[in-house]
Amino acid sequence: MKRNSFLVFVSLLFLFVFIINSVPISVEGESLYVSSTDVFSDVKPGSWFKNSVDYVYSNGLMNGTSAKKFEPNTKMSRAMLVTVLWRYEGSPSNYSNNFNDIPAGTWYTDAVCWAGENGIVTGVAAGLFDPNGNITREQLVTIMYRYTQYMGCNDSASTRVNVFPDGSKVSDWAKKGMEWAIAESIISGTKDLKGTTILAPRDNATRAEVATVLMRYCSNGLYIHYWDEGRVNSEPTCTEKGEVVYVCMDCGIEKHVALSALGHIKTQRTVTKNPTCTTEGVASFYCTRCEKWNDEPIAKSDHKWNAATCTSPKTCSVCGKTSGSALGHQYQAATCTKPKTCKVCGATTGNALGHQYQAATCTKPKTCKVCGATTGSALGHQYQAATCTKPKTCKVCGATTGSALGHDWKNHVCSRCKAKEPAKVQKYILNPNSMVFHEQNCPSVKRMNPENKVEMTATRDEITALGYKPCKNCNP
């Protein structure tokens, strides 16, 4: 783009006079811009980025993230950078949208559409811009390089990226832009942990770094617009915005700035139609500015919803409108005595299962095998008399009580059950002459001739089998 040197001189002179008369300058004489340390609490005197923030803030290129914060170390998004350039160009509109991830009506929609149609951005993939993605250092200089081409300015300067130790890490699509930015001193590298100056092309760019790139870019003198005092293109009314048009005295580009609608001065406001749950109301008022009666809508009132039940959805108690679906019953399984029952509302369906009784026993009445309920009484035991070897025993269930009677031995035979006493192995005294055997403590043993006394350990039956007879006194 060819520039008229006289117009440039006049523009710079006008800008200098304007700044001197209307903008506070640094006391120390470092710059002619607003001192950002007086505005932002996180921009300290002596910070490496202070002059850059002074510049972009004074020229309206970047604002703070709040009234008192600039957040210099916060990463900058792709949409933010494109919006800075778009505002610098006067916020043009009516450009087509080439990206699927750029919805209509956002704060960055017009900016991305403008940049996309003019080839300043091409997206991260087919049809995708990634507006909220952090912008990398190589993306930053590439966008500035393409903006320079869009402006028609000289983009021939080039310094090879391999002057930096990590130059090989620059993506192929970003190489031309990076070499141009190095040559124009728009980017000068950053220090790594070892103190080596590197490009770090794929690192995310911070707001301070973007501010520095913008200052260096604009400070070349080829990319600054010099706006005239502006003319009112249309006056604002109570309901319609007005517009002021500024023209760059250097390149002739226009910047259109909207003037806010003035708004009605309302008097004598009267409700002519009350709002309902489903329809807006209407109020009439007289405006003393536009001197006429106007109508304005009154927002619909909120529905007064009753909670959904098992059988009914949420229902407005005023208009009867419903929303959503009924909850549906939450049935608990049927029991012996209850049908299936909803645990929310208590509604029932079907029948109770009924008890499944098991027969009564001696100790238990009839009992439901499902729920354990009982009916009637236990049968009670039917005991048979105790015997010598068994206690009283129930003939139904076999339960016992007490103890067995035990044998009543008489002459080695039980007097009750007539059972023969079991043979016991013990020591007996035998008399071979009389063929009689005795208990050891029998008085006859004491009178027996020792020569005729034989000791034998055996059962009674074993001794009688040898032909010996029991002593009549001790009845062994």
Q: Is residue 282 part of a domain?
A: yes
Q: pLDDT: is 341 or 405 the higher one? A: 341
Q: Which value, to the nearest 10 degrees, does the dihedral of the CA atoms of residues 411, 413, 414, 419 take?
A: 170
* The pLDDT value given to residue 138: 93
Q: How far apart are CA 222 and CA 157, in angstroms?
A: 14
Residue 437's domain comprises: 423-470
**pLDDT surpassing 50 at residue 3:** no
Residue 181 domain-assigned? yes
pLDDT mean over 404-413: 82
- Spatial CB neighbours of 144, under 8 Å, sequence gap ≥ 6: 177, 181, 186, 213, 217
Residue 152 falls inside a structural domain: yes
Tens-place pLDDT, residues 198-217: 999 999 999 999 999 888 88
Q: Do 17 and 52 belong to one domain?
A: yes
Mean pLDDT of the chain: 84
Name the more confident of 193 and 223. Answer: 193
The answer to whether residue 367 sits within a structural domain is yes
Asked whether residue 339 is domain-assigned, the answer is no
Q: How far apart are CA 476 and CA 472, in angstroms?
A: 8
Residues 191 and 64 in one domain: yes
Residue 234 has pLDDT above 70, yes or no: yes
The per-residue pLDDT for 224 is 60
Identify whether 235 is part of a domain.
no
For residues 39 and 141, membership in a common domain is answered with yes
Answer whether 288's CB lies under 8 Å from 296's CB: no
Enter the DSSP assignment of 30: S
Specify if 176 maps to a domain. Answer: yes
Helical ranges in 152-185 per DSSP H: 175-183
Does 415 lie in the same domain as 376? yes
- Closest CA relative to residue 293, chosen from 263, 269, 262: 269
- The angle formed by the CA atoms of residues 204, 209 and 211, to the nearest 5 degrees, is 130
Task: Tell me the average pLDDT across 268-274.
Answer: 92
**What is the side-by-side order of every strand in the sheet holding 242-247?**
231-234, 242-247, 254-259
164 and 193 together in one domain: yes
Give yes or no for residue 163 having a pLDDT over 60.
Answer: yes
> Are 93 and 165 in a shared domain?
yes
107 and 130 in one domain?
A: yes
pLDDT, tens digit (0-9, with 9 covering 90-100), for 293-327: 999 999 988 888 899 899 899 998 888 888 899 88
pLDDT at 24 over 70: no
Q: Are residues 33 and 152 in the same domain?
A: yes
The percentage of residues in the chain with a pLDDT greater than 90, rounded to a whole number, is 36
Q: Which residues pair with 366 in a beta bridge?
A: 375
Q: Is the pLDDT of residue 5 over 70?
A: no
Domain contains 258: no
Average pLDDT over residues 251-270: 83
432-468 residue pLDDT tens: 888 888 888 888 888 888 888 888 888 888 888 889 8
Say yes or no: 202 and 87 in one domain: yes
Q: Are residues 373 and 406 in the same domain?
A: yes
Give the per-residue pLDDT at 69: 93
Give dist(CA 379, CA 14) in Å, integer. Answer: 119
**Domain check: are 68 and 201 in the same one?**
yes
The count of structural domains within the chain is: 4
Tokens of 267: 């008097």
Annotate 310-366 with DSSP letters as a single string. Answer: SSS-EEETTT--EES------EEPP-SS--EEETTT--EES------EEPP-SS--E
pLDDT tens for residues 85-106? 898 888 888 888 989 999 999 9
Are 35 and 121 contained in the same domain?
Answer: yes
Q: Which of 218, 244, 278 is the last residue before a domain boundary?
A: 218
Q: Residues 338-397: pLDDT tens digits?
A: 999 999 998 999 998 889 999 989 989 999 988 899 998 988 899 888 898 889 899 888
